[in-house]
Structure 1
Amino acid sequence: MKAKLNLTACLLLGLTCGYWANAQKTVIAKTKLPVAAQTFLKTHFSGQEPVSIIEDKETFSKDYKVQFANTTKVEFDGKGNWEEVDGNHNSIPSSIIPKNILSYIKTNYPKIPITKIDKGRWGYKVDLSNELELEFNSKGNFLRIDN
């Protein structure tokens, strides 16, 4: 019984170590990003060059993190689809924001800049400079204020 327990513990430890050893972060050039990510950066951040681009490889996935000198960060999935744009308390380009969401914010919070947007399967989470966090469904319809 004790031998089986030791064997199981060793196997779990080996799998865990193998998983962590396989994960790696690498600095890459902008040309190594997926085409969709390159197009996104060219469209919404033209004239700005990233100060760092990190490719983060996990066992079953890959993503990319791009940072600009003004501390804005953009995260992409392995196919180059954006997942998050974080201005770190600075305004982000409104061209990124889906039209329904932008319209809602301009109507209800006309002078408050958008500082972050996070896109998930469920929808969008948008942070405003006044510390409000708004949630929208995947079609861009307002759901609630997140506290």
Structure 2
Amino acid sequence: MKRFLAFALAFLALSVTTLRADNDRIIEFNELPKAAQQFVTKYFAGRSAVLVKLDRDFMSTTYEVTLSDGTEIDFNSNGLWKDVDAKYNTMPLGFIPAQITKTLNARHAGDPIKQIERKGRGYKVELSSGLEAYFNAKLQLVRYDD
């Protein structure tokens, strides 16, 4: 019985390791969900996808796209953006809710958005100064973090 239990545990450990090793896979841009392809084409025109990865976990699937200028975009399984990190580039504002850009322009003119992330029912926005602004589902500024 002890031998069987040891074998079963070893098999389970090997299975989990094998599953975890196969989570990331490089794919072609045209294998992204249509919504993700359209998002990149519309808001990041002139920039090409240099790396597209499919990341499968037990509970979710995400797509990670790196553009030719270094911008990184994460999409959920439906192709909706989760996180956009412009790194050292100019962030296009067309996909960011207008109330967020209006609030940030009024309070932090000249400090461009470098990253935006959907957080639960709200948004986390990082400015080039490093300041992080958090917005709720009603697009109201609720707090800052630095």
TM tier, shorter chain? 0.7 to 0.9
In 1: Cα distance, 2:125 partner to 2:24 partner: 30
Deviation track 1:60-116 (CA, whole Å, cap 9, x = no partner) reads: 422111111211111101110100000113321111211111110011011111000
What is the TM-score of this pair, normalised by structure 2?
Answer: 0.86
Counterpart residue number, 2:17: 17
Unpaired runs of at least 5, structure 2: none
Cα 1:4/1:135, change in 2 over 3 Å: farther
Counterpart residue number, 1:123: 122
In 2: Cα distance, 1:32 partner to 1:2 partner: 47
Counterpart residue number, 1:114: 113
For the residue of structure 1 that corresponds to 2:129, the secondary structure is: coil
1:134 deviates by 0.7
Q: What CA RMSD, in Å, does the superposition of the two structures yield over aligned residues?
A: 2.2
What is the TM-score of this pair, normalised by structure 1?
Answer: 0.86
For the residue of structure 2 that corresponds to 1:104, the secondary structure is: helix
Counterpart residue number, 1:65: 64
Give the letter for the 1:46 counterpart: A
In 2: Cα distance, 1:47 partner to 1:90 partner: 13
1:122 deviates by 3.2
1:47 deviates by 2.2
Percent identical: 32
Query: How many correspondences in the alignment?
Result: 146
Contact in 2 for aligned 1:22/1:59 (Cα 8 Å): no
Contact in 1 for aligned 2:47/2:69 (Cα 8 Å): no
Unpaired runs of at least 5, structure 1: none
